[in-house]
Structure 1
Amino acid sequence: MAKEAFTAGRIRKFCCEDGKSQSFLWDATAPGLGLRVTANGVKTFIFQGKLNGQTMRISIGSPSAWEIPQAQAEARRLKVLTDSGKDPRQVKAAAIEAERNAQAEKEAEAAAIQAQEERETLTLGVLWPIYIEARRSAKRRGGKVGWSDWHIRDHENVMRAGGEPKKRGKGLTEPGPLASLRDVRLVDLTSTRIAEWLAGETENRPTQAALSFRLLSVFMNWCAANEKYAGLVPVGACKSSKVRDEIPRNNAKSNDSLQREQLTPWFKAVREMNNKVQSAYLQALLLTGARRRELAGLRWADVDFQWLSLTIRDKVEGERTIPLCPYVAHLLAALPRRNEFVFSSASSDNGQLAEPTPGHKRALAVAGLPNVTLHGLRRSFGSLAEWVEMPAGIVAQVMGHKPSATAEKHYRERPLDLLRMWHTKLEQWMLNEAGVKFTPAPATSVVLRVVAN
């Protein structure tokens, strides 16, 4: 195989021999370096060598892209590889793969850094709605961790921005207790930050501050347990001593209930209210011991006048069935059926009794009684039940309290008739103490009256 020194002129003049598909010109300087030219005039630097006794050819590149010294250097490199028993093609493929892997690792690292930066910029205000929707979705799927509508509303209220016109009354709504933390990054929710927030909120609204802290604490536990947000919230931020020192004390309102001697003026004032729906609601609230929103959301479908029962949408257990005692049945049967709600309103947005508190306060003023909240009427039910020696387990079951002992949790299944016996006894006692003259009508007459309405 004849060899000659490669020059630019010699390479330019070299052509494919007639009658052949390709011709070769070999370099005398770099072993294995050749120039291949095809019948179409395409020229390529190549390397030819032997590996394990087999001849191999590898393309280097076009003379228009490779200068002669560069091609010679590449040929020498390939010669070193073949002399050491390595296949240049495999070495090149490995190098490409390594470069590809290195690039992929670099891109993955950059993506991880960007994702972490994005995670660390997440604020409480951004993630709070996501948290609520996750729990709302769990409810739609029928999961045990799904929240009630009231619990969802509590979460929305504590984070509301405020500044919107009030639906009732004049002025603008106030920001929720957690609104001041909306723009705080999760990574910055340290125990110091939370303690400072809690101290400020406790001064003006301790009850709401305590509720908001409990909701925030559960939220932070959810973040820690969620793979997507784990590690963002400082560990133990809600459990440090500086935070515990700022938590408002949960002091029960010892005077937020009706006493036995106050039943007469209270019933008189409430029964004389112009708004008969509010009047019936307030009396039923006292006589059933239900939570205010449980009773306000009562639907006609939940009332069974035939078997005298009420199905209460319980915020704790989901729902519970309690007796429909004679006087409460009398009150409900007389109410207008405007829509699906028992305690309805012709003017509220959702057709439901909106806010009975102002009316109750006016009735208290007329009766000359100190302020008693709507929740205080529920407290009154529990305390007044002791006058008829109503068993504590029955009181708890009617009011929807969680069982407080193992026996209550696992071995007490009281039929509705047993609850009705005690509940009716308490209702009758309250009415007698209040001087309310009421003769229970037979159940059939109540059903007939409801059907007629």
Structure 2
Amino acid sequence: MPKITKALVAALEPPDSGDETTWDSAIAGFGVRVWAGGAKTYILKYRNKDGRVRKLTIGRVGTLTLDEARDEAAKALGAVAKGEDPAAEKQAHRKAETVEQLVELYAVEGLFVQRGIRQGEPMKPLTAAYTVARLRHHVVPLLGKMKAKAVNPGDIERFVKDVTNGKTARDEKIKVETEPTKRVIVRGGDGAARKVVRDLSAVFSFAKRRGIVDKNPVEDAAVRKTDNKRQRFLSLKEIQLLGAAFEELEAGGTNSKALDICRLWALTGARRNEIAGLKWNEVDLSSGFLRFEDTKTGKSLRPLGTAARALLAARYASRDKEKPWVFPAERNGEGFYGGTKRIWPIVTKKAKLPGVTPHTLRHSLGSVAASSGEALLIVGSLLGHANARSTQIYAHIDRDPSQRAADKVGNAIAAALAGKGAAEVIPLNASNG
């Protein structure tokens, strides 16, 4: 087995039929493959972590120099040593020609957080599941057959318009072997379009990093990716309506688990499944904290108010000691209670609060805290924000401390500008009580 040199590569003659490979003595598995038609390619043969022999085509002789091919072979062997499979990855990239194939590749290899303190970490399972579902329900039906490289900003704009107009909306039952019939509800509309176009932008950014496409067409499309409107907050009067609805429904026999979950959304500002999926080992009643091991932003410590502690204490007294969940499922004996999806619309209808979601309650707690004079740092602590930027949406609230300070200072200056003197200050002492 010779060491492959430039002269040897140039001297290799094509076989009468098929192909022949000359292997290198310096790099194990590295070789030059010569085809009957005269074409020559650099290749690498290796075993993957499953023990299967794989062949990776590095590049054509003439397109790559021998030294460049050796460097690529060394990199590939380094990847193999880490448990990767370069040939399989290259094959997957070749298969990702259509948008549908690209979506499926992204579902396997691309579900990572794109920004923030968790950038580069895998998405949370539920976030990943929702992301893939949106892509499969909206993107695949409308763009799936297109070549990924051919998609342009105009295609993205038409896609967003179609989703907004409900072209991908459906409500149907699907029967899967060995599984119960599933009801699939896909809603279109403006909100769905904004979410899925953000997902699609992440898919094309992933494809660009992998060299599958040259550019991300979403970036140049004239589409709206954010709400561009103020967050919805409930006033205290609206919260009173919500509380009255809870009481009326509970008196009528509505499941108390669902209503207590809803109450805790309002009392803690926690995210939907942080409460629905709460476990007793995350509840510290003695010190008054929720100690989440894993949330959207990682580990999180949230303070509990008296009302929330009292609700949880009552639940603890009657808990099922065999189950870890604060609100265990009532059927199948596994997991946490999931009935709030059915009951929440009934609550909002009863309270006459259309469009209010569980996440609205999270924003409402932040609003009440900020309007009560709490510093934004404290508001962020209540909500479990990982960075101050997430809490800035509450900075505009009319009772924010900085705004009250501006009122006080501004009034003094306005009085001076108007020629009015400052109010007389009378010091207190023992003689005047």
> Structures share a fold, TM > 0.5?
yes
The aligned runs of 1:13-412 (5 Å cut-off) are 97-99=12-14, 103-104=34-35, 106=39, 108=41, 119=94, 122-135=97-110, 144-160=120-136, 175-204=137-166, 205-226=189-210, 230=211, 232-240=212-220, 243=221, 245-247=222-224, 250-252=227-229, 256-272=232-248, 273=250, 274-312=254-292, 315-335=295-315, 336-337=319-320, 339-347=323-331, 350-404=334-388
Distance 2:351 2:190 in 1: 29
Shift of 1:395: 0.8
Judging changes above 3 Å, is the alpha-carbon distance between structure 1 residues 137 and 369 closer, same or farther for their aligned structure 2 residues? Answer: closer
Distance 2:112 2:375 in 1: 39
Distance 2:314 2:39 in 1: 75
Task: Look up the SS of the partner of 2:165 in the other structure.
Answer: helix
8 Å CA contact retained: 1:311, 1:320 = yes
Q: Which 10-residue stretch deviates more, 380-389 or 347-356?
A: 347-356
8 Å CA contact retained: 1:309, 1:321 = yes
Distance 1:351 1:300 in 2: 13
Amino acid at match of 1:362: I
8 Å CA contact retained: 2:138, 2:163 = no
8 Å CA contact retained: 2:112, 2:120 = no
Distance 2:107 2:380 in 1: 30
Judging changes above 3 Å, is the alpha-carbon distance between structure 1 residues 193 and 365 closer, same or farther for their aligned structure 2 residues? Answer: closer
Amino acid at match of 1:366: K
Amino acid at match of 2:387: P
8 Å CA contact retained: 1:348, 1:354 = no
Using the aligned pairs only, state the percent identity: 21
Q: Structure 2: any 5+ residue segments left out of the alignment? A: 1-7, 15-19, 21-31, 44-56, 61-89, 167-188, 393-433
8 Å CA contact retained: 1:294, 1:313 = no
Shift of 1:397: 2.2
Judging changes above 3 Å, is the alpha-carbon distance between structure 1 residues 134 and 389 closer, same or farther for their aligned structure 2 residues? Answer: same
Task: Look up the SS of the partner of 2:278 in the other structure.
Answer: coil
Task: Look up the SS of the partner of 1:319 in the other structure.
Answer: strand
Shift of 1:133: 2.7
Judging changes above 3 Å, is the alpha-carbon distance between structure 1 residues 367 and 219 closer, same or farther for their aligned structure 2 residues? Answer: closer
Distance 2:162 2:301 in 1: 42
Summarize deviations over 1:349-387 as a string: whole Å, max 9, x none: 853222414323323333344442111111211112234
Amino acid at match of 1:250: D
- Determine the structure 2 residue equivalent to 1:415: none
Task: Look up the SS of the partner of 2:39 in the other structure.
Answer: helix
Higher-helix-fraction structure: 1
Distance 2:223 2:165 in 1: 10
Task: Please give the TM-score of this superposition, normalised by the length of structure 1.
Answer: 0.55
Distance 1:374 1:334 in 2: 22
Higher RCO, Cα 8 Å, sep 6+:
1
Shift of 1:288: 0.9
8 Å CA contact retained: 2:102, 2:207 = no
Judging changes above 3 Å, is the alpha-carbon distance between structure 1 residues 135 and 353 closer, same or farther for their aligned structure 2 residues? Answer: farther
8 Å CA contact retained: 2:197, 2:225 = no
Shift of 1:340: 2.2
Shift of 1:281: 0.6
8 Å CA contact retained: 2:204, 2:215 = no
Task: Look up the SS of the partner of 2:335 in the other structure.
Answer: coil
Judging changes above 3 Å, is the alpha-carbon distance between structure 1 residues 217 and 334 closer, same or farther for their aligned structure 2 residues? Answer: same
- Determine the structure 2 residue equivalent to 1:29: none
Distance 1:376 1:95 in 2: 70
Task: Look up the SS of the partner of 1:312 in the other structure.
Answer: strand
8 Å CA contact retained: 2:280, 2:325 = yes
Distance 2:119 2:234 in 1: 39
Alpha-carbon RMSD across the aligned residues, in angstroms, is 3.7
Shift of 1:155: 1.7
Q: Which 10-residue stretch deviates more, 354-363 or 129-138?
A: 129-138
Summarize deviations over 1:297-329 as a string: whole Å, max 9, x none: 221221112222102366542121111222212
Judging changes above 3 Å, is the alpha-carbon distance between structure 1 residues 382 and 334 closer, same or farther for their aligned structure 2 residues? Answer: same
Judging changes above 3 Å, is the alpha-carbon distance between structure 1 residues 310 and 178 closer, same or farther for their aligned structure 2 residues? Answer: farther
Distance 1:349 1:207 in 2: 35
Summarize deviations over 1:65-113 as a string: whole Å, max 9, x none: xxxxxxxxxxxxxxxxxxxxxxxxxxxx999734467825615399769
Shift of 1:250: 1.0
Amino acid at match of 2:367: S
Shift of 1:217: 1.2
